[in-house]
Chain A
Amino acid sequence: MTAEIVAILLMYIKAFAVGGAICMTAQIIINFTSLTSGKILVYFMLAGVALTALGLYQPLVEFAGAGATVPICGFGYLLANGAIKGAEKGLFYAVSGPLTAASAGVTAAVVFSLIMALLFHSRPKRN
């Protein structure tokens, strides 16, 4: 029982450390290049796709769990993973695989955003 609790705690620490490290890397890049947040998101997502295609991201996901899947690289991982899994079944599934894998996330973003836009008004930005 104690061993189980220790394993769970360790998993939280690993998720925190890896997720935090990915965000810190992005912050360092922003500090030194003044890239906008949209570009950072695209580059990190592409990095996730590339690392998954090379087989380097899967070990990280197994090691850190949500620490690797929650950052936007995890979205790239999802897309590439869908493609790789689909490729086993044939070209059609290889091409439709990425969007199929990402469908839950994209659908959630669209549906919830529309609901929020109906519920809330924009507010003045305070700096």
Chain B
Amino acid sequence: MTGRNAQNCNENYLKYVSALAPPTKHFKNCLSAFAVGGLICSVGQFFRYMLGYAGLSGDELAGAVSVILIFFGCLLTGLGVYDRIGRYAGAGSIVPITGFANSVTSPAIEFRTEGYIYGTAAKMFTVAGAIIVYGVFSGVLVGIVYCLL
């Protein structure tokens, strides 16, 4: 199969797939993303208050809250609960910092079969690596611009 013929075939296949795929439930999707995302942020706020009473403040407080949330994100991913939440919540479970933790833990566990060095450790940053690379790069740009201003 070459040229135009192959292209036709691809188009037909894509049409076939989109006809079979269940329609996206936009409204319900958005509502559950809102509810779960909001809930995770409220839990974060709860830890903010608790650690605030314990005497933390400023950067230390913000850091401690994200460490706790990352811990729960990793633990729930390990237990297999986070994927179940994610199927229901969509972006509501991806966008909070727990979703970042999930994106690190998930390949770390999944690629364990390839060994602890080339599997777990190397694949850990398949998604999070992109976040750290562009985050650090854009952060450095901001720093340099603010320095020159």
Contacts and interface: CB of A to CB of B under 8 A. Distances in A.
The answer to whether A binds B is yes
Interface residues of A, number: 78
Interface of A is mostly: helix
A71 to B, nearest CB: 5
Interface of A: 8, 11-12, 15-24, 26-31, 37-38, 40-42, 44-46, 49-50, 52-53, 64-67, 69-72, 74-76, 78-80, 82-84, 86-87, 90-91, 94-95, 97-99, 101-102, 104-106, 108-110, 112-117, 119-123, 125, 127
Interface of B: 24, 26, 29-31, 33-42, 44-49, 59, 62-67, 69-71, 74-75, 77-80, 83, 87, 90-92, 94-97, 99-101, 103-105, 108-110, 112-113, 116, 120-121, 124, 126-128, 130-132, 134-136, 138-140, 142-147
29 contacts: A15-B45, A16-B41, A16-B42, A17-B38, A19-B96, A23-B38, A28-B26, A28-B30, A37-B94, A40-B94, A41-B94, A45-B135, A46-B134, A49-B138, A66-B45, A70-B40, A72-B96, A80-B139, A83-B143, A84-B142, A98-B136, A104-B63, A105-B70, A105-B97, A109-B104, A114-B121, A120-B78, A122-B113, A123-B80
A102 B139 CA distance: 10
A101 B38 CA distance: 25
B66 A122 contact: no
A41 B78 contact: no
B131 A20 contact: no
Contacts, number: 275
A87 B94 contact: no
Contacts of A109: 70, 74, 100-101, 104-105, 128
Given A80-B142, A97-B139, 8 more contacts: A15-B38, A23-B95, A24-B34, A24-B92, A67-B41, A105-B67, A112-B71, A114-B120
A19 B74 CA distance: 20
B127 A71 contact: no
Contact of B143 (A26, A28, A86): A86
Contact of A27 (B48, B65, B92, B140): B92
Contact of A19 (B37, B70, B130): B37
B142 to A, nearest CB: 5
A112 B70 contact: yes
